[in-house]
Amino acid sequence: MNPFHIELRTLPAEGRHVAGTLPPAFFDLAPGDSVQAASPLAYDLRILREGDSLHVSGSLEAGFSLQCGRCLERFPHRVRLENFEEEAPLENESTTDLTELVREDILLALPSYPRCEDGNVEQRECPAEGKFERDDTPDADGLPGAERGIWNALDQLK
């Protein structure tokens, strides 16, 4: 049973507390997506009706595997929303489904252009860092970054 599928008739006036886990499939990500759910979703929420909307508050946590846009390697990233708070308008007088709201809020908390250094599970240096991207900060020898990148690339040919 989906805990985010709220039947208003059975929702107590003082609200309902729901806590537990849901399998990674909850996020409905395609196998080829650069974002993959890597752990169950842990939820701990209070759901309260306030007039024409549901007030949802609590915490959400889930683990993901992201693909670095620079080196294309995968790295783990955890989303923790400790003070999650949302108002969901009632869909009708009988049921309201909070699934999309929860799913989207968690996915929106992921970096939009993931890079290795965004990983918050393990310290990670991007293996492609500085190799292909132009930057014009001179290094100790006074070479601009872009040129330094070329020299690094040439070094690897030796």
Name the minimum Å distance from CB 131 to Zn ion. Answer: 10
66 touches Zn ion by CB under 5 A:
no
Alpha-carbon 6 to chain mean position? 24
Query: Two tokens at 84?
Result: 């999650």
Task: For the segment 91-130, give every residue that binds Zn ion (CB under 5 A).
Answer: 116, 126
> Site size for Zn ion, by CB under 5 A?
5
Name the minimum Å distance from CB 67 to Zn ion. Answer: 9
- Output 46 or 131, the one with its CB closest to Zn ion: 131
131 burial type by CB count under 10 A (0-12 exposed, 13-18 middle, 19+ buried): middle
Query: Two tokens at 68?
Result: 């670095």
Q: Name residues whose C-beta falls within 8 Å of residue 79's C-beta, 6 or more positions apart in sequence.
A: 60, 61, 62, 63, 64, 106, 109, 110
Q: Pick from 71, 88, 102, 106 the residue near Zn ion by CB under 5 A.
A: 71
Name the minimum Å distance from CB 128 to Zn ion. Answer: 5
Name the minimum Å distance from CB 61 to Zn ion. Answer: 24
CA-nearest of 75, 35, 78, 37 to 59 is 78
Q: How far apart are CA 58 and CA 85, in angstroms?
A: 7
Q: Which stretch binds Zn ion (CB under 5 A): 14-22, 57-65, 66-74, 80-88?
A: 66-74
Binding residues for Zn ion, rule: CB under 5 A, are 68, 70-71, 116, 126
